[in-house]
Amino acid sequence: MAIQFKFVELSIVTDETIEECVNEWVGKGWQLEGIRFAMAEHSKRPAMAFVSFTRDVRSAVADTEAPRRPPPLLRPVPPADADPPHVIRAWDDEVE
């Protein structure tokens, strides 16, 4: 049996965010494996939570989650024939 793992990081740790996360992923066919908390210094509340899920790969239905794509490192360069952006500079106007 091949097992697939899913980890979700919660930077805001409340009962509502944990409940929302668990309900979302269990609804997509994942089983809750566990929740681990990262504690902040000098605080009784956790700073982060890591929620882990598992599922059997063979019995998994098609994943409705879109594949993750990393954000682009650079902005795309506009084509050479594109109009330059219109820039208005107040200090370019002559004031009488």
Q: Considering the domain boundaries, does residue 63 fall inside one? A: no
Q: Considering the domain boundaries, does residue 62 fall inside one? A: no
Q: Considering the domain boundaries, does residue 30 fall inside one? A: yes
Give residue-wise pLDDT tens across range 1-33. 689 999 999 999 999 999 999 999 999 999 999
Q: Distance of CA 43 to CAs 33, 53, 72, Å?
A: 26, 27, 36
User: For residue 16, what are the domain limits?
Assistant: 3-56
Indicate the number of domains in the chain: 1
Q: Considering the domain boundaries, does residue 20 fall inside one? A: yes
Asked whether the beta carbons of 63 and 25 are under 8 A apart, the reply is no
66 three-state secondary structure: coil
Q: Considering the domain boundaries, does residue 16 fall inside one? A: yes
Indicate yes or no: pTM above 0.85.
no
